Structure 1
Amino acid sequence: MTDLALAHDELRPLMFSIAYRMLGSVVEAEDVVQDAFLRLHRSSLEGVDNLDAYATTVTTRLAIDTLRSARVRREQYVGPWLPEPIVDSDDADPAHRIVLDETVSTAFLVLLEALSPVERAVFVLRDVIGYEYAEIADVVDKSEANCRQIFARAKRRINDGKPRFEATHEDRDRLASEFLAAMNDGDLAGLERLLAEDVVFVGDGGGRAPAIQKPMVGALAVARFLLGLVRQGDRFGVLLDLVQANGQPALRTRDADGALLCVMTIDVDAGRIVGLGNLLNPEKLGHLGAVGDLNTLLGHRD
């Protein structure tokens, strides 16, 4: 009989990797993984030759169900929705140290939001996990031919929204360093040069932290807005530093006591910053440690 207790530490990163890409939420992914393990413990594993495949099936099906219910909540979400970040320096859970490639970047996870739950499952299993179509068909209870069609359709939609040029890690890190330096220096012209003409800034406060309610577009408008945030932060001793979040550079903001206030991911294409996703919702930052109260810091009232 398969010893599930011994296999737990090896299975958990795989299961979290699938659930996180499916849901874009660390908390919901952890819930799915925990529920999946409970189901595995309650199941008879006699005759299970491939525990990885069995765990993948249970996790994926639970993630599909969770995503269907989460979609209703996201339709009622206040303002733009961004995925919960995995910050390398803050997250000590070894299961969260999944392969941080483009398929966990903030921009990519936002693209996945356009897919249906089953489309997302098929895409993740095929493109990330490397499953064969016959294996995917067993997981999502579709025919192999249908899974091929679903993947092709999902792949087209994803490719339509992907960056034109894949930036190197060196280019991303260099731009991020110049970005932070320009902000610290209050260099409007320098900041504007780093931003693409049609750069998009998105803030996710979820109604629980002050954030813009609609995406802001345009290099000059975004640069001015960012420098305004820096000036405001300077009044309260806010700390800014660069980290790696979801395999890409990000700007971490903390209060004077070191509590986390927000994480801003930086998306690069063709040598310019094309997207900034600022996550401020405290409910989506708690897995990274102590979270500060931005409303209190800024003197906001309910």
Structure 2
Amino acid sequence: MEAALLTEAFEAHRRLLWSLSYRMTGSPADAEDVVQETYLRALERPPRDETAPLKPWLVAVAANLAKDLLRRRRSQAYPGIWLPGPAPLEEELPVAPPQEGFDLLESGSYAFLVALEKLTPQQRAVFLLREVFDHSVEEAATALGMSAANVKVVLHRAKKALRRPAYPSPARRELTQRALLAFQEALANQDLAALEALFAPAVQACGDGGGIYAAGRVPIVGAAAVARFFLGLAKLGTDLRLEIQELNGLPAQVGLWAPANVQVAPRWTLHLEVDDQGRILWLRAVSAPRKLSALG
């Protein structure tokens, strides 16, 4: 296939490849790397059968490259807690929650990406191809170089290991927005009692500075401890600017300031996970620069 025709065919599937690669790796920057490597692979070693559809071949290459990237990443020590990188998913918002299975919005939500980290690279690839990207057992087996029987076994184990978070529905977005605004107001007023009242008793907070900026190596647990931590953190910088943006299907805080300490990140995103009453269960902050590549 000529390079121009190959490029045109590749561009038609670029968004699909990025969506798969992002859910595989949990990182917008890594997803871009996988997509670019898939394109280079297509140029340098195109499929032999030029009459066959290119899409299945591209998906197979991207899935396996992403799986290899995950294996390499997990074989290396990470400085602290690894968190997914945020990304806007406006083009993937469905009208309503799916009746069964998993859609792009749910599988791209921040809590879901965190949950996917519990799966092995092989489980993650099988789960995403079968449950999110609607591949048949045979298609997933061909793409990943597995037997159909093995795909079924791996999928069963993946489903058993996966904790399914609440769907990012309009009601969940409203609860999250309300909690985020109240959180910012309590911080602005330095109101410890109001801050604690927003949290579930066993609330947890953690951050990912990528080894570049300060972040704890274990989560902070408990309403009082989390509230005191954020009140203290709010005093470490000036010229604070906060925005609420929809990232991964839910409102999230995007912050920018001038920190007094070079170990404190100048930019971050904060992602809340709330229960059905709107109480905050988790706060996850991302300040590693590479993780924020999708924000521009």
CA contact 1:82–1:106 (8 Å) conserved in 2: no
Check 1:287–1:168 CA distance in 2 against 1; reply closer, same or farther (3 A cut): closer
CA contact 1:254–1:262 (8 Å) conserved in 2: yes
Match of 2:291 in 1: 284
1:253 maps to amino acid: G
CA distance in 2, matches of 1:203, 1:218: 16
CA contact 2:129–2:135 (8 Å) conserved in 1: yes
Match of 2:42 in 1: 40
Match of 2:12 in 1: 10
CA distance in 1, matches of 2:146, 2:212: 40
CA contact 2:23–2:108 (8 Å) conserved in 1: yes
- For residues 205-229 of structure 1, what are the alpha-carbon distances to aligned partners after superposition, in whole Å with 9 as ceiling and x for unaligned? 1221022221001112111211222
Match of 2:268 in 1: 262
- For residues 176-204 of structure 1, what are the alpha-carbon distances to aligned partners after superposition, in whole Å with 9 as ceiling and x for unaligned? 22222222222222222221111110111
Task: Indicate the SS of the match to 2:131.
Answer: helix
1:240 maps to amino acid: L
Q: Give the gaps of 5 or more residues in structure 2.
A: 94-103, 260-264
Match of 2:78 in 1: 77
CA distance in 2, matches of 1:240, 1:165: 22
2:63 maps to amino acid: T
CA distance in 2, matches of 1:244, 1:108: 15
- TM-score normalized with structure 2 length: 0.84
Match of 1:201 in 2: 205
Question: Over the residues paired in the alignment, what is the CA RMSD in angstroms?
Answer: 2.5
2:145 maps to amino acid: D
CA distance in 2, matches of 1:115, 1:48: 36
Task: Indicate the SS of the match to 2:239.
Answer: coil
Match of 1:142 in 2: 146
Check 1:48–1:85 CA distance in 2 against 1; reply closer, same or farther (3 A cut): farther
Task: Indicate the SS of the match to 2:214.
Answer: coil
- For residues 210-258 of structure 1, what are the alpha-carbon distances to aligned partners after superposition, in whole Å with 9 as ceiling and x for unaligned? 222210011121112112222333xx2222221222222211110259x
CA distance in 1, matches of 2:60, 2:87: 24
Cα distance, 1:107 vs structure 2:
2.2
1:238 maps to amino acid: L
Select the residue among 103, 108, 111 that pairs with 2:112: 108
Cα distance, 1:97 vs structure 2:
5.0
Q: Give the gaps of 5 or more residues in structure 1.
A: 89-95, 290-302
Alignment of 1:178-217 (within 5 A): 178-217=182-221
CA distance in 2, matches of 1:146, 1:286: 36
Cα distance, 1:44 vs structure 2:
4.1
1:282 maps to amino acid: P
Cα distance, 1:125 vs structure 2:
0.7
CA contact 2:106–2:167 (8 Å) conserved in 1: no
Check 1:44–1:120 CA distance in 2 against 1; reply closer, same or farther (3 A cut): closer
Cα distance, 1:260 vs structure 2:
5.5
2:271 maps to amino acid: T
CA distance in 2, matches of 1:183, 1:52: 49
CA distance in 1, matches of 2:91, 2:85: 14
CA distance in 2, matches of 1:207, 1:34: 26
Match of 2:165 in 1: 162
CA distance in 2, matches of 1:247, 1:164: 10
CA distance in 2, matches of 1:144, 1:174: 46
Cα distance, 1:41 vs structure 2:
2.1
More moved, 223-232 vs 279-288: 279-288
